[in-house]
Structure 1
Amino acid sequence: MSHPNRHRFPKIEIRWPGLVIWLTAWVLLWLCDGVLNLGNLALLLVLASAMAGTWLSATASVVLSALSVLGFNWWFVPPRFTFHVHLHQDLLLLVTMLGVSVMVSYLMARLRSAAEQESQHAQAAQQLRALSEQFREGLDLSAQGRLLQSVLQTRVHDTVSVLLLREPDAPSTRPAASHLTGHPDAQDTQGLWACVKQFAAIGPGTGRYENQATLFLPLRGPSCAWGAVALHGVSWLALTALTRHTVQQMCDVLGLELERAHTLQQAQHAKEEAQSQSLRNTLLTSISHDYRTPLANLMGAASVIHDQGARLSPEQITNLAHTVMLEAQHLNRMTTNTLQLARLDAAALQVHKDWESLQEVVGAVLSKTRMRYPLRQIDVVLPAGLPLIFCDAMLLVQLLDNLVENAIKYSPDDSFIQLHAQGQGDTIELRVIDHGPGIPDVWKSKVFQAFERMHPEAAQADASDETQLRRGVGVGLAVCQAIAKVHGAKIWIEDTRPHGATVCVAWPVDVQPDMNSPSSEV
């Protein structure tokens, strides 16, 4: 921030053009004496008075104009070398010249002063805009305090202390709720807090606490003060009107910025709370809706076994027990996915990684899948020599298990599922391919959002046999995306030709470990 006084020239630089104009006018008067009449000579002085007033102050212009009229009377008006005037027209000429010269000099000086003030106001406005932009650059509270302190010290040429509040109406008994820049003594610190509470300037020249040696200015927001500044050893009346106005506006710029940032933070918190509430409501709605069918089937099968066990054949009991097992597995899957999604969305999640073999992970997934779907055909292609991957094995198993489960649910029973892996530079690309109805382009990104499903009719308790296996909360692919995200992997969906869907996962491959050294964990 530049100080406006730096744009002012020293007095000698301001005044010398005016003095040169007056000297030039007098040289021309002597040269034109006897060539031009008194009226034309007088016009030279009037012209010089108007031109010199552009550089000279109002007082200097008026004084020089008056002296020039007296000199003109002494040297050029008959009788010369006296102040006597014989002719009435010469007296009128002198009076008119004096009046015009003084008036023109005064008006020109006032115009120059007004132009200088306007220039200073424009410079101050530009400084305030620049200061506001600097405050909005995401600076923390301490950096904002140091910036305002530096700008004000340049402006008033004295020591400045700045008190900033982190929240409105923060009490002085809570140091963590405020930030102090500078080293004010105990009395000045009390003055800063008093200025915040009174929401007005206090100190010498303000009409409040005139006995104070320090001037205190509030950082005013629309509704309250967000801090205060202490101008040590500065009187309010000792500052020029422009400086007083600019200094207070600089303080208010920071006050407005602090309130704006606080309002945005409150709005963000409100938005996050609304999203969290919406997520909870959606989760409760989905759970209450989608858990109803498996619970009803569990209760029905258990009730039949309990009430009619003696009359049932071993085959009927086995079928009912199988129903109980399938529905329990379905409930367990929905619960695990929902809880895992909540865990992966946590801000401070620590994923425990280790070097794992993809063949072992896929083997664990296939073992679980064949227990649930012993009749489904799964084609697995794992090239030899695939590198180890650095991951949380349990999360990777859950990711592949969810993808295979979805592929089975959304494809005909007589079709086969493909699980292929291949190296692609610094990644391993996993592809789970099905030959079902496929996924439209508009849904290829939406299906990775929690509680989004292409077939909402499958959530009904009385869903048809065709869609009965598609029941779920709609978080399976959302969990897969969350797992991929915490591992730095990418997941997307492509079409399978001629029909079906392919879910692709590009898993990063890190520098392979030394097989002789113990595995590392993070």
Structure 2
Amino acid sequence: MGRFVEQLKKITAFPRNERGKQPDKKLVMKNIVIMLFIMAACTGTAMLLRYVGVNESNIVMIYLLGILLFSYLAGGYYYSFIASVLGVLLYNFFFTEPYYTFRAFNPDYPVTFVIMFIVGFVTSMLTIRIKQETFLSEERERSIEALYHLGRKLLAVKNKTELSEVSAEEIAQQFPCDIMIQFYDEKAKICSKYIKGNDVFSDDKELIVCHEAFQSGSPCGFGTGLYSEAKAFYQPVICSVGVLGVIGISLHDAQPLKKAQKDFLDAVTPQIAVVLEREMLYEKQEETKLQVQRERLRADMLRTISHDLRTPLTGIMGSASTMIDHYPSLGDDVKKEFLNNIYDDACWLNELVENTLNMTRFEEGQVKLNLAKEAAEEIVAEAIGQIKKRAFHHHITAKMPAELIMLEVDGILIKQVLINLLNNAVNYTPDGSEITIAVDYDENNFLFSVSDNGPGISEEDLPHIFERFYKRQDQTFHSRRGAGIGLSLCKSIIEAHGGLISVSNRQPHGTVVSFSIPSKEEKPDAAADFDHG
């Protein structure tokens, strides 16, 4: 009996506006018209049946059928109550004696009226209940299917940005809304934010409510007891480590979220939280891997550098010791030779340290390109001028366009690339070899190349030439073997500029290292040779 009374108290027949105070008048009028039409149709049908001699008990069934039909269409308990009363009144007015009055001569009619009302109202309530259960079942099925699809999509997301986009799209498909999803890192800073629909979430007041949901870990905003004046509802995304995100939803009909919609959000947020934790774990693992790689790099670099530093230091110490011990007896030519050896070893040592420092900065992501307009000819001339101090036995030629080429690059780093390439060419070619720096262009790139006519690179070394710490197995012509850093650094510098670098052997012999730098500058048409050797 208690449940029956509870059902009577429900007023789902009258749709409410966004504040839940006034009924939807248009829908009320529509349902009233439908009710009057059905009752009129039942009355007309009953009169036709009475005319052909059908018993009154069957006429009662016509009205009960009309009440059930209207209850199914309108779906409200108030409507069912009114339709049941109206059905009894119409039956009394048209089909009981005296006709066309609300009096009844037969003493059994009042009992008939009561039973007719109870049967009509109870059966209509059961019809509405079945309709509601069917609707809820369909809603649950849709929600389960949506959660299933969302779960499958979340398994494939690769980052937090993609996670927020996928989640927002799936939620928006379930109920029309503007939606905002933002995630926080462990320092409570926003690391990802995605907004779908009108940007109601840029309002300062909305941002305050969103931050409150993040701080408190409880739902806030429209439809809740906290910041209910807000335009949107904010649901925190809670992980095992705390709140890591907030979902903001503003329905297009400006109404609070229904229970089914909140239940759907309550089911979605744990899935999002699991993926967030997975992403955090992945980021920590990647950070750990990177840290291990950095430590391994430092160890390899220290081991390599400590070994390679011995050669120039030993040369400097040997030349200096000989000059100290035998300075009076040494001729000027011998002294000059020792000083040249000290200078060459010091330059080699300086380049080794410079390359090592630059490589370390690139590995740790601390290099910021200082892009500026640089003349290609000046960069090439400075690189050749620095190399010629100790490469006077080689003939170095620069082939440059006749008109000035301006590049937007980090001039110091590009010069370092050319110096490293020239150093390699000098060290791995015999005296008297020809080395050429050429600058060319195509539709979208400036092209640089450093070529020589030396013996070339062995097929064994060629695939590994740009690997860090890789040392060529073939002979060097000047008793110096690199630390395996120079070409790897060149690759990092060129890629930081958005370019590509490659190496190949020339025919019939020799090596050419080429790299490109993207540019949209207007290209010149002519080229000329400049001899620096």
TM bin (shorter chain) = 0.5 to 0.7
Amino acid of the structure 2 residue aligned with 1:31: L
Give 1:326 shift: 3.7
Alpha carbons of 1:290 and 1:116: their partners in 2 closer, same or farther (altered >3 Å)?
same
Larger mean CA deviation between 77-86 and 399-408 belongs to 77-86
Match of 2:27 in 1: 10
| Partner residue of 2:79 out of 57, 60, 64 | 60
C-alpha RMSD of matched pairs (Å): 6.0
| Partner residue of 1:400 out of 418, 425, 446 | 418
Q: Distance in 1 between matches of 2:113 and 2:90?
A: 11
For the residue of structure 2 that corresponds to 1:453, the secondary structure is coil
Give 1:24 shift: 1.3
Q: Distance in 2 between matches of 1:423 and 1:241?
A: 66
Amino acid of the structure 1 residue aligned with 2:66: A
| Partner residue of 1:430 out of 422, 436, 448 | 448
Pair 1:84-2:103 in alignment: no
Cα displacement string for residues 42-89 of structure 1 (whole angstroms, at most 9, x for unaligned residues): 4433332332112231242244235525643664468976273779xx
Q: Distance in 2 between matches of 1:167 and 1:492?
A: 40
Q: Distance in 2 between matches of 1:4 and 1:119?
A: 23
The answer as to whether partners of 1:343 and 1:349 remain within 8 angstroms in 2 is no
The answer as to whether partners of 1:438 and 1:499 remain within 8 angstroms in 2 is no
Match of 2:406 in 1: 389
Pair 1:333-2:351 in alignment: yes
Pair 1:104-2:123 in alignment: yes
Q: Distance in 2 between matches of 1:315 and 1:400?
A: 32
Q: Distance in 2 between matches of 1:220 and 1:412?
A: 68
Q: Distance in 1 between matches of 2:403 and 2:46?
A: 104
Cα displacement string for residues 252-272 of structure 1 (whole angstroms, at most 9, x for unaligned residues): 999999989988877776666
The answer as to whether partners of 1:376 and 1:416 remain within 8 angstroms in 2 is yes
Give 1:29 shift: 0.9
Match of 2:502 in 1: 492
* 1:19-34 alignment, distance < 5 Å: 19-34=36-51
The answer as to whether partners of 2:35 and 2:70 remain within 8 angstroms in 1 is yes
Match of 1:291 in 2: 309
Which residues of structure 1 form unaligned runs of 5+? 145-150, 156-161, 172-178, 231-237, 459-464, 514-522
Alpha carbons of 1:510 and 1:60: their partners in 2 closer, same or farther (altered >3 Å)?
closer
The answer as to whether partners of 1:491 and 1:505 remain within 8 angstroms in 2 is yes
Amino acid of the structure 2 residue aligned with 1:332: N
For the residue of structure 1 that corresponds to 2:72, the secondary structure is coil
Alpha carbons of 1:98 and 1:510: their partners in 2 closer, same or farther (altered >3 Å)?
closer
Match of 1:462 in 2: none
Q: Distance in 1 between matches of 2:145 and 2:133?
A: 16
Amino acid of the structure 2 residue aligned with 1:60: Y
TM-score, with structure 1 as normaliser: 0.62
Q: Distance in 2 between matches of 1:266 and 1:276?
A: 15
Q: Distance in 2 between matches of 1:154 and 1:479?
A: 49
Give 1:277 shift: 4.3
| Partner residue of 2:66 out of 48, 73, 79 | 48
Cα displacement string for residues 7-51 of structure 1 (whole angstroms, at most 9, x for unaligned residues): x87332345434422321221111221325335434433332332
Alpha carbons of 1:311 and 1:347: their partners in 2 closer, same or farther (altered >3 Å)?
closer
For the residue of structure 1 that corresponds to 2:366, the secondary structure is coil
* 1:229-308 alignment, distance < 5 Å: 241=259, 276-303=294-321
Q: Distance in 1 between matches of 2:428 and 2:105?
A: 117
For the residue of structure 2 that corresponds to 1:102, the secondary structure is helix
Match of 2:511 in 1: 501
Match of 1:350 in 2: 370
Larger mean CA deviation between 317-326 and 51-60 belongs to 317-326
Q: Distance in 1 between matches of 2:521 and 2:131?
A: 72
Give 1:309 shift: 6.8
Give 1:420 shift: 3.3
Larger mean CA deviation between 306-315 and 44-53 belongs to 306-315
For this pair of structures, how many residues does the alignment match? Answer: 454
The answer as to whether partners of 2:429 and 2:477 remain within 8 angstroms in 1 is no
Alpha carbons of 1:406 and 1:320: their partners in 2 closer, same or farther (altered >3 Å)?
same
Cα displacement string for residues 181-233 of structure 1 (whole angstroms, at most 9, x for unaligned residues): 6459xxx99x986x766644699x99x99xx9989977352243469999xxx
Larger mean CA deviation between 112-121 and 14-23 belongs to 112-121
Q: Distance in 1 between matches of 2:187 and 2:484?
A: 46
Larger mean CA deviation between 411-420 and 18-27 belongs to 411-420
For the residue of structure 1 that corresponds to 2:507, the secondary structure is coil
Alpha carbons of 1:261 and 1:416: their partners in 2 closer, same or farther (altered >3 Å)?
same
Q: Distance in 1 between matches of 2:35 and 2:62?
A: 14
For the residue of structure 1 that corresponds to 2:447, the secondary structure is strand
Amino acid of the structure 2 residue aligned with 1:480: C
Alpha carbons of 1:79 and 1:428: their partners in 2 closer, same or farther (altered >3 Å)?
closer
Match of 1:219 in 2: 236
Q: Distance in 2 between matches of 1:4 and 1:277?
A: 66
Match of 2:481 in 1: 471
* 1:131-146 alignment, distance < 5 Å: 136=161
Alpha carbons of 1:45 and 1:406: their partners in 2 closer, same or farther (altered >3 Å)?
same
For the residue of structure 2 that corresponds to 1:54, the secondary structure is helix
Larger mean CA deviation between 344-353 and 242-251 belongs to 242-251
Match of 1:176 in 2: none
Alpha carbons of 1:12 and 1:247: their partners in 2 closer, same or farther (altered >3 Å)?
farther
The answer as to whether partners of 2:60 and 2:116 remain within 8 angstroms in 1 is yes
For the residue of structure 1 that corresponds to 2:73, the secondary structure is coil
For the residue of structure 2 that corresponds to 1:432, the secondary structure is strand
TM-score, with structure 2 as normaliser: 0.61
Cα displacement string for residues 365-423 of structure 1 (whole angstroms, at most 9, x for unaligned residues): 44444443443444x36267242434666544433222222233345667543433445
Alpha carbons of 1:349 and 1:417: their partners in 2 closer, same or farther (altered >3 Å)?
closer
Q: Distance in 2 between matches of 1:201 and 1:401?
A: 62
Q: Distance in 2 between matches of 1:504 and 1:224?
A: 52
Q: Distance in 2 between matches of 1:467 and 1:31?
A: 119
For the residue of structure 1 that corresponds to 2:349, the secondary structure is helix
The answer as to whether partners of 1:221 and 1:256 remain within 8 angstroms in 2 is no
Q: Distance in 2 between matches of 1:434 and 1:32?
A: 112
For the residue of structure 2 that corresponds to 1:493, the secondary structure is strand
